[in-house]
Amino acid sequence: MTNSLVFNFKSCITEVPIPKKLNNPFGLEIPEIGRIAAAEFQEFIDEESAKWDYDFKTHRGKMFGVLVVQKSDGSLGYLGTMSGVFPGGKTCERFVPSVFDESKTDFYFTKGMTELTEIGKTIKNSNNPKEINELTEFRKQKSHDLQKWLFEQYIFTTSIGKSKNVTHIFADWANSKPPAAAGECAAPKLIQYAFSNNLKPIALAEFWWGNESKSKERKHLGFYPACQDKCRAVLGFMLRE
CA distances to 16, 118, 126, 223 from 12, in Å: 8, 56, 66, 22
What is the biggest distance separating any 2 CA atoms in the chain, rounded to whole angstroms?
A: 74
Would you call 184 helix, strand, or coil by DSSP?
Answer: coil
Would you call 33 helix, strand, or coil by DSSP?
Answer: helix
Whether the per-residue pLDDT at 91 is higher than 50: the answer is: yes
The answer for residues whose C-beta is within 8 angstroms of residue 130's C-beta and 6 or more apart is none
- The model's pLDDT over 181-234, given as tens digits with 9 standing for 90+, comes to 899 999 999 999 999 999 999 999 999 999 887 777 889 999 999 999 999 999
CA distances to 3, 66, 100, 150 from 93, in Å: 13, 15, 16, 23
Residue 154, pLDDT score: 94
Task: Please classify residue 241 by burial: count the beta carbons closer than 10 Å to its beta carbon, then call 0-12 exposed, 13-18 middle and 19+ buried.
Answer: exposed
Compute the distance between CA of residue 72 and CA of residue 153 in angstroms, rounded to an integer: 28
- The model's pLDDT over 109-150, given as tens digits with 9 standing for 90+, comes to 889 999 999 999 999 999 999 999 999 999 999 999 999 999
Region of poorest pLDDT, from 28-32, 56-60, 164-168, 193-197: 56-60
Residue 1, pLDDT score: 42
Cα angle for residues 203, 204, 206 (degrees, 5° grid): 155
- Please choose, from the candidates 179, 186, 211, the residue with its C-alpha nearest in 3D space to the C-alpha of residue 63: 186
Compute the distance between CA of residue 231 and CA of residue 186 in angstroms, rounded to an integer: 9
The answer for residues whose C-beta is within 8 angstroms of residue 78's C-beta and 6 or more apart is 6, 7, 9, 37, 40, 41, 66, 67, 68, 69
- The model's pLDDT over 52-74, given as tens digits with 9 standing for 90+, comes to 888 888 888 999 999 999 999 99
Q: Are 178 and 27 in contact (CB under 8 A)?
A: no
Whether the per-residue pLDDT at 86 is higher than 80: the answer is: no
| CB crowding 112-122: b at 16 or more within 10 Å, else e | beeebeebeee
- Please choose, from the candidates 87, 67, 94, the residue with its C-alpha nearest in 3D space to the C-alpha of residue 4: 94
- The model's pLDDT over 171-180, given as tens digits with 9 standing for 90+, comes to 999 889 999 8
